[in-house]
């Protein structure tokens, strides 16, 4: 069996996630204590007892999901989980690289903190948004975005067949949404996000992150990680640094990433982190693939390597 690990991004968070890890495991308590110090705020309190509105803020959402995903991953590693590859959706790419040994928890969280704060800041300064377009081919959605003349809008997340997220300036996204409906989209859903992620509007956030990544020590990974930017596997430190910089203002090629993993021999997928979003996408991408998930202390205990 060739096992591929998958790590979720924004949208998978929920209040109370990780509390069982904090209460029942030494590594959970250690990581949440470290996270409070690195974040400069009581992020554990916000995750365990905060409000949905607080947790939806990008500056908190991304670190929160990273923390929980990495703790779960470390607990599974203690069981000698043997992975052949990994991938992470947007923010989840940092969890994947941590699991693969590119950098440790503290380094990863410091990067995620800056990434989240930079994206939040850029979103606050630029009027942008995102929307999910269902039921149209990728090329049709790309053509719709190209045809919009009222501003910048691009296809940002190629999640699964018939599921593409567009991103850009609010007026341009609204225009593209109307065009998608006219072109026969089964659904067009505006997303409750704080910015135009994975679009050219994120260039200021990319520059802030790039400076830190260039000065961060990164190791070659223990197994390949299929990256959002190219949908191809990488494992060298230089390639990792480049991919993490480029992913901020380029599309997430998730559909192609999973398809390439399957073509390269992955026959079982394990989603590690809160939620089940990626398992759902996998079923849309390839119904024959075997997908499961670990999102809690109970799941870890019940998981058999």
Instruction: Catalogue the active-site residues.
Output: 90, 198
* Strand residues in the chain grouped as ranges (E): 3-7, 85-88, 128-134, 153-160, 163-169, 187-190, 225-226, 233-234, 268-272, 290-294
* Strand residues in 120-224 grouped as ranges (E): 128-134, 153-160, 163-169, 187-190
Nearest CA to 202 among 229, 175, 239?
229
- Exposure class string for 147-171: b at 16+ Cβ within 10 A, else e: ebeebbbbbbbbbbebbbbbbbbbb
Nearest CA to 224 among 216, 233, 215?
233
**Rounded distance between C-alpha atoms, residue 269 and residue 180, angstroms:** 32
Nearest CA to 17 among 301, 273, 293, 283?
273
Task: State how beta strands 233-234 and 187-190 pair.
Answer: unpaired
Nearest CA to 255 among 81, 144, 139, 175?
139
């Amino acid at each position: 069996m060739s096992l591929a690990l998958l790590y979720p991004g924004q949208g998978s968070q929920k209040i109370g996630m990780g509390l069982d890890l904090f209460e029942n495991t030494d590594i959970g308590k250690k990581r949440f204590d470290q996270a409070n110090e690195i974040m400069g705020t009581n992020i554990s309190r916000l995750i365990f007892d905060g409000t949905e509105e607080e947790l939806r803020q990008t500056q908190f959402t991304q670190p929160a999901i990273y923390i929980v995903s990495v703790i779960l991953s470390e607990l599974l590693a203690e069981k000698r989980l043997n992975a052949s590859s990994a991938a992470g959706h947007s923010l989840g790419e940092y969890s994947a690289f941590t699991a693969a040994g590119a950098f440790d928890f503290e380094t990863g969280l410091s990067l995620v903190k800056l990434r989240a704060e930079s994206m939040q800041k850029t979103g606050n300064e630029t009027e942008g948004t995102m929307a999910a377009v269902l039921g149209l081919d990728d090329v049709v959605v790309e053509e719709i975005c190209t045809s919009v003349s009222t501003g910048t809008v691009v296809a940002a997340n190629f999640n699964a067949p018939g599921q593409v997220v567009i991103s850009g300036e609010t007026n341009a996204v609204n225009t593209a949404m109307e065009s998608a409906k006219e072109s026969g989209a089964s659904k067009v859903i505006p997303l409750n996000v704080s910015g135009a992620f994975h679009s050219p509007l994120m260039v200021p956030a990319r520059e802030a992150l790039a400076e830190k990544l260039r000065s961060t020590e990164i190791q070659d990974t223990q197994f390949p990680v299929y990256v959002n930017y190219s949908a191809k596997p990488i494992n060298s430190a230089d390639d990792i640094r480049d991919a993490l910089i480029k992913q901020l203002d380029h599309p997430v090629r998730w559909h192609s990433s999973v398809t390439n993993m399957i073509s390269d021999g992955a026959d079982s997928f394990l989603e590690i982190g809160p939620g089940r979003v990626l398992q759902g996408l996998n079923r849309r991408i390839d119904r024959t693939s075997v997908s499961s998930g670990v999102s809690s202390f109970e799941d870890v205990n019940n998981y058999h390597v």
